[in-house]
A = this chain, B = another copy of it.
């Protein structure tokens, strides 16, 4: 991490499986990755799409990650590969690495109950609450203002950013990261009607988040009424997402901001759900399905299928409908024209029949 010579970066990419060609100054030392617009001398940038190759003329970057056949102006070194975006990701990780957290050790101003177990090398900030019987693994980082309720369990290498709230009995696997303000394991909307009134059903299940899950900021993941709400290993959430009670999400899903999934729904593995989409409760979404932005899913989705629209339909049907709706104003006009034509034909035929009758 830190400064790196271009030749060293090229070697690193090659050893990591990305065949590449360095054209320019191998000894040039770069210290940061940046956009073409913002990059300064000593920084490396990238060109994701060859059609914007003109932009290389305006950048102050010293080096650029480009495609196989992209040409850079004189004075800019390039690393050419078939996958410049992948080269970018690897370069960011190599040059910048991941966030270095503040180091608090276990702060004396954290409120940690005696019955709580905290593993070695913990990094717990002032103003954190760790309640009764909580069990925490090794090397966790917990920022200020986080609250961890009674009997909750956190695995190793968990990171909770500021003001995260983990309700009682929730379980987080290892390498789970939760961004600021998210809430895990709050009560779901469970009420039984008694006349016009609503009687609260105690939510006695819990929320379980498996290994390697990342959750964005200000999300809410309900605990289950009974049993478990589950977020499968490796799934990644953006911000302001709401997951209902008892819903089970598979591994390696990608869920974009402001998605809402109602209770008791099952989402398969490696499902992508785009921004602001909503999914009703008590249905099943198959593995590798894709839900488009703002879609409203009201019925099961088969594995691998892409749906869009509200109510959501498989992409071919939905597109046909959307195009048909766009043509609808024209259709209305054409329909009126056809009606008129039929009326005229009818008149012609009737006139003709009248003539014939007269002639007979």
Contacts and interface: CB of A to CB of B under 8 A. Distances in A.
Interface of A: 32-35, 37-38, 45, 85-86, 89, 92-93, 96-99, 102, 109, 111, 125-127, 129, 131-132, 143-145, 147, 150, 161-163, 165, 167-168, 179-181, 183, 186-189, 191-192, 196-202, 204-205, 214, 216-220, 222, 224-228, 234, 236-240, 242, 244, 246, 252, 254, 256-258, 260, 262, 269-270, 275-276, 278, 280, 293-294, 296, 298, 310-311, 313, 317, 320-329, 331-332, 334-335, 338-339, 341-342, 345-346, 348-349, 352-353, 356
Contacts of A349: 345, 348-349, 352
A276 B294 CA distance: 10
Contact of A257 (B180, B198, B242): B242
How many copies the complex holds: the figure is 3
19 contacts: A34-B226, A35-B226, A92-B202, A93-B202, A97-B202, A98-B200, A102-B131, A111-B127, A129-B145, A145-B145, A147-B180, A161-B165, A181-B183, A186-B217, A189-B216, A294-B294, A311-B322, A324-B328, A352-B352
Contact of A275 (B92, B226, B278, B345): B278
A201 B131 CA distance: 33
Contacts of A339: 334, 338
B191 A165 contact: no
Contacts of A37: 227
Q: Which 10 A-B pairs have the closest CB atoms?
A: A35-B227, A220-B239, A147-B162, A165-B180, A324-B328, A242-B257, A183-B217, A189-B238, A89-B192, A38-B227
Contacts of A348: 349, 353
Contacts of A252: 196-198
A89 B197 CA distance: 14
Contact of A240 (B163, B220, B332): B220
